[in-house]
Amino acid sequence: MIERWWPEIGLEPFYADEFCVLFKCDCREVLRRLLDKAVHHVITDPPFEAEAHFKQATRAKVKSFSVETTELPFAPIDELTRTYIGREFSRISDGWQLIFCQAEALASWRDAVLCTAFPNMVTPAEYVRSQLWIKPAGQPQYTGDRPGQGYEAIATAWSGRERMWWNGGGRHGIYTANPRRAGGEANLHPTEKPIPLMLTLIDLFTKKGQIVLDAFAGVASTGVAAKTHGRRAILCEMNDKYAEIGARRLATTKEQMQLFDFENYVEPAQTPIVDDDGVSILKKKKRKARAL
């Protein structure tokens, strides 16, 4: 029996453990029930716009030499949904919002989290910047008549009540990770995010024990990364098959010691090489040894 650590929202979870809870439903059912600032951060990967879904379908068709159109098994995002979701993310989260999207959609996501459609609302978020996920071994351009798409953007906003912080110091918001699993293993979802990428984002933007919301969880990659590094995650996925795969992945994920603990990192005490008079301590020791 898992003790409930997530806010009571009157919905039965599909899966729960001490780090992750997964609701198998339309995320809007969960979002509208969460109180203001109920989670620390949002890290999520919503469906892309209709034209990107069409591109994916064409690519799949060419790859399999099939004449049928293969659709992604979920609907593209529409403007009404984006506006609603962006406002809810800014209301519910008390820290970072990292939203994967096409570069072409960055401004739309920025407007959605800044709630520009609600002019009477006090701006609940600050748009910080756009980050990039580079995919060195991404899908090639099968038609060969234009450059392939080798990256995704990450719209990044802050809706915390505290001062903004992150664990990355002066590094850039550019991440390199291959979209395919290592060793030729098949991906579990057509737009699955690689775990090394998600672990990096979790490490850089969250602290141990904090709650991350992924409203478009797919096969729960954000949850796996959160649990691995001792964060908690509230996940929503409306597709039965992906929710089941996600739950299985979460159940087999174990919290692991971080190789590098960004938050609790303490600069090691330096052994002084010169003493207060500016004289080399090593030379002094050698002189002392010779004198004996």
Identify which of residues 114 and 219 has a Cβ nearer to ligand SAM in the complex. 219
Instruction: Tell me the β-bridge partners of 155.
Output: 99, 130
Identify which of residues 89 and 242 has a Cβ nearer to ligand SAM in the complex. 242
The only residue of 13, 47, 160, 223 in contact with ligand SAM, by rule CB under 6 A: 47
| Cα–Cα dist 223/220, whole Å | 5
Minimum CB distance to ligand SAM, residue 216 (Å): 3
128 part of the interface to ligand SAM, by CB under 6 A: no
Going by C-alpha positions, the residue among 237, 290, 259, 177 that lies closest to residue 28 is: 237
Tell me the two tokens of residue 252: 């087999």
14 part of the interface to ligand SAM, by CB under 6 A: no
237 part of the interface to ligand SAM, by CB under 6 A: yes
Can you count the helices (H) and strands (E) in the chain? 8, 9
Going by C-alpha positions, the residue among 212, 199, 236 that lies closest to residue 96 is: 212
User: Of 66-105, which residues contact ligand SAM (CB under 6 A)?
Assistant: 74
User: Of 200-219, which residues contact ligand SAM (CB under 6 A)?
Assistant: 216, 218-219
The only residue of 193, 229, 231, 249 in contact with ligand SAM, by rule CB under 6 A: 193
Torsion of CA 14, 212, 100, 263, to 10 degrees: -140
| Cα–Cα dist 221/131, whole Å | 19
The only residue of 34, 199, 236, 247 in contact with ligand SAM, by rule CB under 6 A: 236
Minimum CB distance to ligand SAM, residue 233 (Å): 12
Q: What count of other Cβ atoms lies within 10 Å of the Cβ of residue 239? A: 16
Q: Which residue lies nearest ligand SAM, judged by its C-beta? A: 218
Identify which of residues 193 and 232 has a Cβ nearer to ligand SAM in the complex. 193
Minimum CB distance to ligand SAM, residue 137 (Å): 17
Minimum CB distance to ligand SAM, residue 252 (Å): 15
Minimum CB distance to ligand SAM, residue 286 (Å): 59
Identify which of residues 160 and 220 has a Cβ nearer to ligand SAM in the complex. 220
Please report the DSSP string for 208-251 in residue order: TT-EEEESS-TTTHHHHHHHHTT-EEEEE---HHHHHHHHHHHH
| Cα–Cα dist 115/287, whole Å | 71
For the purposes of burial, counting CB atoms within 10 Å of the CB of 44, is it exposed (0-12), middle (13-18) or buried (19 or more)? buried
Identify which of residues 48 and 127 has a Cβ nearer to ligand SAM in the complex. 48
Where along the sequence are the contacts to ligand SAM (CB under 6 A)? 26-27, 45, 47, 74, 189, 191-193, 216, 218-219, 221, 236-239, 242
